[in-house]
C-alpha cells in the first residue's frame, strides 16, 4: 500500500458513540471479563502473552466458563509462540504459560484453541506484538498483555491506553486477518499439544510463515472522507504499511505532535523527521518512562542481571536526543515529559497529530518495532473533531505523573549509575556492542 497523503487513506466510517475510553488498568480487567461473560459468537484475544498468574488464570477461567455456557462460542487465543513456552527472564527454566493453558483445559474438559505465533525462529529477533481483544462485534484495543501488572491485580500497575470500539465491520476485518493470516497451520502453532514438530521442520515452517506475515494486511474499508478508522499491520522494513503510515503522520504534522513511548530509542528516519518539524516551528511533545518505571528495571538493592542494563541504555539514548535538541527545548518547541509514579511502570504508546490523526498502537517506535516485531495499529481520522475533548482528557491523565525535562543534564550520565551498571556500559561501548544491542531493543 502506497501512502502519499493520509486524507486519501480509506477506512471504516465511525461515529462518535462507537469509541469510548477506559482510564484505569482495573477498568480494563472489568471490561474484558464483562465482555467475555456476555459473548455470544466469538472471542479472539491477541497479545504478547497471557501470563500464568492471578490475572491470567482469571481471564482463562472466564473463557472456560463462557465456553461451557455457550458451547458454540468460537474462542481463539493467539500469543507469541516462543514467549509462551518459557519462564520469565531471570527465573528458573519452565514450560511457560503454555503448561497452564493445557492443565486448565484438561481439568475442565472444554475445547478452546490456543495458538502460538512464531514471527521469527528466535524470540530475540522478533515477536508477536499485535494488539486487540475482539469479542463479538467489539474491539477492546490496548497495548497491554494479560497479567497482574497490566490489570493492577496486586499493589502495582503498568499504565497503558485502553479504547473500546463498538464496530462490526472493523471487528470482522480484524477477525478475518486472524483466521486467514495468523492461523496458518494448527499442527505447528497449537500450544496445547506436547507432540512437537522437529526443530528443523518448525524452522522451515517459520520461514514460510514469516513471508506470509510480511505480505498480508487487514481489509481497510471503502470510506475515503469524514471520520474513519483504518486497521494497519506491518512486519519488516520493506512493505511495512504501518511504518509508512507513521512516517506519513509525522511528515504531515503542521502544528503539533504528541508521542508516547516507554522505550526511547527512535529509528533514525523518525529522528530526522522530528528534527525537521522542530526546525519548521512545530511543537513536539514526547512522554517517556523514567528508567525506574521501565519493566526491566532492577533496583540497586536487588540482585542484578544482564537484562537490567536495558533501562539505562534507553536513558542514554534519551539523553543524547535531548542534548541534540536542547535548542528546541529552550525555544519551547520540544517538551520531554518523564513519567514516574511510585513503583509502577509505564507502557503507553501512540501518536496524535494536529488533533486530527490519532494512532492507537502497541508500537514502541524503536528499531525493534520498526523491523523485527509483528505490529498493528488503528489510525483514527477525526476531521470533525468529534473526540478532541476525550483525547485531551486522556492526555491530561497520561501527563499527571510526569516531570518536564528542561535540560539534558537532568538525565544521569554513565558515571552516575551504580558501579556494576557503569562498568557493563563501558565494556559494551569498548567492544562497540551498544549500537548492536540497541538494534534489537
CA distance 126 to 109: 34
Catalytic sites, residue numbers: 129, 160, 347, 375
Residue 330 makes CB contacts below 8 A (sequence gap 6+) with: none
3-state secondary structure of 362: coil
3-state secondary structure of 431: coil
Q: What angle do CA 254, 364, 306 make, to 5 degrees?
A: 145
For residues 11 and 220, is the Cβ–Cβ distance under 8 A? Answer: yes
Q: What angle do CA 268, 117, 189 make, to 5 degrees?
A: 160
E strand map for 92-173: 113-117, 128-129, 132-135, 138-142, 158-159, 162-166
E strand map for 306-407: 334-339, 345-346, 350-353, 357-361, 374-381, 402-405
Q: Indicate the pairing of strand 350-353 with strand 357-361.
A: antiparallel
**CA distances to 179, 287, 326, 399, 438 from 348, in Å:** 28, 8, 24, 11, 20
DSSP conformation class of 343: T
Q: Which stretch of DSSP H or E encloses residue 394?
A: helix 388-399
- Helix ranges, 178-262 (H): 186-189, 199-215, 241-251
CA distance 58 to 228: 35
Query: In angstroms, how far is CA 84 from the centroid of its own chain?
Result: 17
- Residue 157, phi-psi category: left (phi > 0), alpha (psi -120 to 50), beta (remainder): beta
For 272, the grid coordinates are 530526522
Start-to-end Cα distance in the chain: 27
CA distance 162 to 252: 26
- Helix ranges, 74-184 (H): 97-108, 148-151, 168-177
Amino acid at each position: 500500500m502506497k501512502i502519499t497523503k493520509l486524507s486519501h487513506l480509506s477506512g471504516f466510517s465511525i461515529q462518535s458513540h462507537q469509541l469510548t475510553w477506559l482510564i484505569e488498568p482495573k477498568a480494563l480487567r472489568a471490561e474484558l471479563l464483562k465482555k467475555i461473560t456476555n459473548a455470544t459468537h466469538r472471542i479472539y484475544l491477541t497479545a504478547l502473552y497471557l501470563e500464568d498468574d492471578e490475572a491470567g488464570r482469571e481471564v482463562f477461567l472466564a473463557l472456560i466458563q463462557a465456553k461451557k455456557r455457550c458451547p458454540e462460542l468460537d474462542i481463539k487465543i493467539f500469543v507469541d509462540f516462543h514467549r509462551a513456552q518459557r519462564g520469565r527472564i531471570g527465573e528458573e527454566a519452565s514450560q511457560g504459560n503454555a503448561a497452564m493453558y493445557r492443565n486448565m483445559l484438561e481439568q475442565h474438559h472444554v475445547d478452546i484453541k490456543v495458538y502460538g505465533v512464531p514471527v521469527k525462529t528466535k524470540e530475540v529477533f522478533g515477536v508477536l506484538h499485535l494488539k486487540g481483544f475482539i469479542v463479538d462485534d467489539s474491539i477492546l484495543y490496548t497495548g497491554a498483555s494479560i497479567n497482574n501488572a497490566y490489570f493492577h491485580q496486586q499493589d502495582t500497575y503498568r499504565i497503558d491506553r485502553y479504547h473500546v470500539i463498538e464496530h462490526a465491520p472493523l471487528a470482522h476485518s480484524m477477525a478475518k486477518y486472524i483466521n486467514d493470516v495468523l492461523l496458518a497451520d494448527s499442527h505447528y502453532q497449537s500450544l496445547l499439544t506436547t507432540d512437537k514438530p522437529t526443530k528443523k521442520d518448525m524452522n522451515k515452517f517459520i520461514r514460510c510463515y514469516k513471508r506470509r506475515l510480511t505480505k498480508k494486511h487487514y481489509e481497510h474499508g471503502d470510506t475515503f472522507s469524514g471520520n474513519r478508522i483504518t486497521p494497519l499491520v506491518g512486519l519488516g522494513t520493506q512493505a511495512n504499511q504501518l511504518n509508512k503510515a507513521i512516517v506519513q503522520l509525522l511528515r504531515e504534522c503542521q502544528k503539533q505532535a504528541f508521542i508516547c513511548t516507554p522505550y526511547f530509542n527512535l529509528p533514525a528516519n523518525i529522528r530526522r523527521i522530528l528534527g525537521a518539524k522542530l526546525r519548521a516551528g512545530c511543537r513536539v511533545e514526547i512522554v517517556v518512562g523514567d528508567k525506574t518505571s521501565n519493566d526491566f528495571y532492577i533496583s540497586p538493592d536487588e540482585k542484578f542481571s544482564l537484562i537490567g542494563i536495558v533501562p539505562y541504555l534507553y536513558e542514554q539514548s534519551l539523553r543524547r536526543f535531548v542534548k541534540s535538541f536542547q535548542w528546541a527545548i529552550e525555544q519551547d518547541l520540544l517538551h520531554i515529559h518523564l513519567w514516574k509514579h511510585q513503583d509502577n511502570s509505564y507502557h503507553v504508546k501512540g501518536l496524535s497529530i494536529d488533533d486530527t490523526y490519532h494512532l492507537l498502537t502497541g508500537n514502541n517506535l524503536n528499531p525493534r518495532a520498526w523491523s523485527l516485531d509483528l505490529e498493528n495499529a488503528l489510525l483514527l481520522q477525526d476531521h470533525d473533531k468529534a473526540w478532541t475533548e476525550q483525547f485531551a482528557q486522556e492526555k491530561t491523565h497520561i501527563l499527571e505523573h510526569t516531570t518536564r525535562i528542561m535540560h539534558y543534564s537532568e538525565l544521569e550520565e554513565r558515571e552516575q549509575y551504580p558501579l556494576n551498571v557503569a562498568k557493563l556500559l563501558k565494556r559494551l561501548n569498548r567492544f562497540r556492542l551498544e549500537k548492536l544491542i540497541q538494534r534489537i531493543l
